[in-house]
Amino acid sequence: MSSPSTTAGDLEFVVRTIAQTAVDNEREFGELDAVAGDGDFGYSLARGFEIVLADWDTLDRSSPAEFLKKVALVISKRVGGTSGPLWGTAFLRASGAVKDRAELDGSDAVAMLRAAAEGIKVRGKSDLGDKTMLDALIPMTEALEQHLGTGDPGAPAELAAVAASTARTAADATTPMRAMRGRQSYTGERSIGSPDPGAVAVAVIAERVAAGWPDHR
């Protein structure tokens, strides 16, 4: 498998984009969650990632794994509701997937995303089809893995574009689903007709990463 090389700077760019996107979209994510949930998703996510941004210069950068682990700890401690444990677990599992790696490539990106999804499955007792962030995260990960397996996956920017397109399509596809996990599952039929906030967040983040990648590089 030919795998485009990435750098520690690429990982930092992605994590910082995740954090900034969470902060920038606090209102939008909250309004989406309020349709069938308790409306605190945007607020909770933004408050935790604000701390990540505030502590940015002090985060351990001795290795990709240590960097991700520190981010995970901040999120777990500072993000409220159900989002903290889920997103914290995602970053912690991603850290474990690259614990022996000093440099990263495309296959490592897939490994981190897959580990994050597995962690969310266990922590949230959820799976594909339950109308959660997994419904965007898993298809996105699979699309990246398939693209890498073509033998000519192209540059990292191309992979970012594939991730963004797949995540958006998958997030939109959660609209007719009935929520089976989380606060939205309590509303039953009312959860049908709007996309899952977590899945939308994954899509918006992926789109921001894809849009910013050329300038970042």
**Residue 13 phi, psi dihedral angles, 5° rounding:** -60, -45
CB atoms within 10 A of CB 194: 21
Write the DSSP string, 57-123. Answer: GGS--SSHHHHHHHHHHHHHHH--TTHHHHHHHHHHHHHHHTTT-SS-BHHHHHHHHHHHHHHHHHH
Helix (H) or strand (E) holding 203: helix 197-216
Per-residue pLDDT, 34: 86
Q: Using an 8 Å Cβ cutoff, are 136 and 163 in contact?
A: no
Question: Does residue 27 belong to any structural domain of this protein?
Answer: yes
What pTM was estimated for this model as a whole? 0.92
CB atoms within 10 A of CB 158: 15
Question: Does residue 49 belong to any structural domain of this protein?
Answer: yes
Q: Using an 8 Å Cβ cutoff, are 171 and 200 in contact?
A: yes
Question: Does residue 3 belong to any structural domain of this protein?
Answer: no
Question: Does residue 173 belong to any structural domain of this protein?
Answer: yes
Tokens of 55: 């502590």
User: What's the domain range around 145?
Assistant: 8-216
Q: Which residues contact 198 (CB under 8 A, 6 or more apart)?
A: 41, 86, 132, 133, 136
Tokens of 16: 């910082």
CA distance 4 to 196: 31
Question: Does residue 1 belong to any structural domain of this protein?
Answer: no
Question: Positive or negative CA dihedral for 65, 69, 71, 75?
Answer: positive
Q: Using an 8 Å Cβ cutoff, are 52 and 71 in contact?
A: yes
Tokens of 44: 């909770």
Question: Residue 205, exposed/middle/buried by CB under 10 A (0-12, 13-18, 19+)?
Answer: buried
Question: Residue 150, exposed/middle/buried by CB under 10 A (0-12, 13-18, 19+)?
Answer: exposed
Per-residue pLDDT of the chain (217 residues; tens, 9 = 90+): 456 666 778 999 999 999 999 999 999 999 998 887 777 889 989 999 999 999 999 999 999 999 999 999 999 887 767 788 899 999 999 999 999 899 999 899 999 999 999 999 999 999 999 999 999 999 999 999 999 988 776 788 899 999 999 999 999 999 999 888 776 665 667 679 899 999 999 999 999 999 999 888 6
Considering its fold, how many domains does the chain have in total? 1
Identify the three-state secondary structure at position 40: coil
Question: Does residue 12 belong to any structural domain of this protein?
Answer: yes
CATH number for the domain harbouring residue 166: 1.25.40.340
Question: Does residue 2 belong to any structural domain of this protein?
Answer: no
DSSP code at position 1: -
Question: Does residue 205 belong to any structural domain of this protein?
Answer: yes
